[in-house]
Amino acid sequence: MSHTVRLIICLTIAGMYLPAQAQKSDLIKIIDTSLQKAVVNYTYLSTQLSPDRFPSNIDPATKNIKTTGSEPWVGGFYPGSLLYLYEATNDTLLYSEAIRKLKVLEKEKTNTTSHDLGFMMNCSFGNAYRLKPDEWYKQVMITSARSLASRFSEKVGCIRSWDSKPDQFMVIIDNMMNLELLFAATRFTGDSSFYKIAITHANTTIANHFRPDYSSYHLVIYDPKTGKVQKKQTVQGAADESSWARGQAWGLYGFTMTYRETKDKKYLDQATHIAEYMLKHLPAGNVFYWDFNAPATAPAYHDASSTAIACSALIELANYVKRKDRHKYRTTAIAMLRALSSPEYFATPKEYNGFVLKHAVGNLPHNSEIDVPLIYADYYYIEALMRYRNMLAE
């Protein structure tokens, strides 16, 4: 091979490589800048809270913070976000604030009235254990898993979500997210009963929550005596047969996580089917509308929360699929991160009292939390930033 040919080949390769490197550098800059800005926001948010309260959302009229005690499902997202930001920056003030809130949250470990202990305790204590393994975090998670497992019905094959009439056993798609706590409990204890509950719930969800196109119902109501399906609904969507965006994102994330924990290909297949369905409904601006099938007469709100959840899930899912899909999922996740990191969606520190993302939708049919920041939108956005940052560092 002549010197000239070698030079041409080298220049060609360099021409292909440099744009990719430039894109990677640009993305790293966006991620690092967004994380630093989130630290500023959350440092300010921490000054707006009393010691025993957790941020939830914003009053759209006054822009004042709405807070909760430790008992609602959103309690774990604030300390979880703080822990991710500490991981990104080593800011010890954020870590100290997270630990203070964990001490308030701890009492929920024995709460058997909530199906959301995975959200509450895994997103908080789970992240704390991941960063600094400690027996306290571990025992809280094990106790929390036992409380969650108490809501499981062998007859139905699911963990009960909403408590209701004795002749109704309600299960929502959101509950896929709580299985991660059960998988962790099996790793901690060696007790496979937690694992078996998790996969049974996942299998029942595949069987009954999804339509042929892999869109999902929000709620399935079972007969607790027979385990048979009584009714299927989409409570927080535009209609029972519509596709509520956050419900789709819960399913995508939940089955991706279940594949990670089990390595059972049927969960990977389910996750990829859901991903393909969702990507078909991603608008040009790369932020989902609140419902994929909302009628033209309905308000066209974008939803940062479903987008952040799906973005984080796609970043993980890309690790498990073939190259073609890997590229597609990562490219989509990058587009979502860029959109959410733009001024259109990323709030200034005092704009919403320290919340990070704007334009999320909680429950539009019930006129609740519409076009406001939501604490879980922040959590999954920050998680997505960290997941992509860690992937680029590999």
Query: Reduced to 3 states, what is the DSSP secondary structure of residue 240?
Result: coil
Angle at 288 between CA 23 and CA 243, to 5 degrees: 140
What distance in Å separates the CA atoms of residue 319 and residue 259, rounded to the nearest whole number? 11
Q: Which residues have a Cβ under 8 Å from the Cβ of 50 and sit 6 or more positions away? A: 67
Angle at 180 between CA 167 and CA 125, to 5 degrees: 110
What distance in Å separates the CA atoms of residue 274 and residue 192, rounded to the nearest whole number? 28
**CB contact at 8 A, 288 and 307:** yes
Q: Comparing C-alpha atoms, which of 319, 333, 327 is closest to residue 263?
A: 319
What distance in Å separates the CA atoms of residue 385 and residue 314, rounded to the nearest whole number? 12
**CB contact at 8 A, 337 and 380:** no
What distance in Å separates the CA atoms of residue 84 and residue 100, rounded to the nearest whole number? 15
**CB contact at 8 A, 30 and 19:** no
Q: How many helices (H) and strands (E) does the chain have?
A: 13, 9
Residue 14 burial class via C-beta count within 10 angstroms: exposed 0-12, middle 13-18, buried 19 and up: exposed
Query: Reduced to 3 states, what is the DSSP secondary structure of residue 177?
Result: helix
**Selected catalytic residue, list 116, 291, 303, 371:** 116
**174 classed as catalytic:** yes
Eight-state DSSP code of residue 209: S
**116 classed as catalytic:** yes
**Selected catalytic residue, list 59, 174, 191, 378:** 174
Cα torsion 196, 202, 207, 209 to 10°: value is 150
Residues tagged active-site? 116, 174
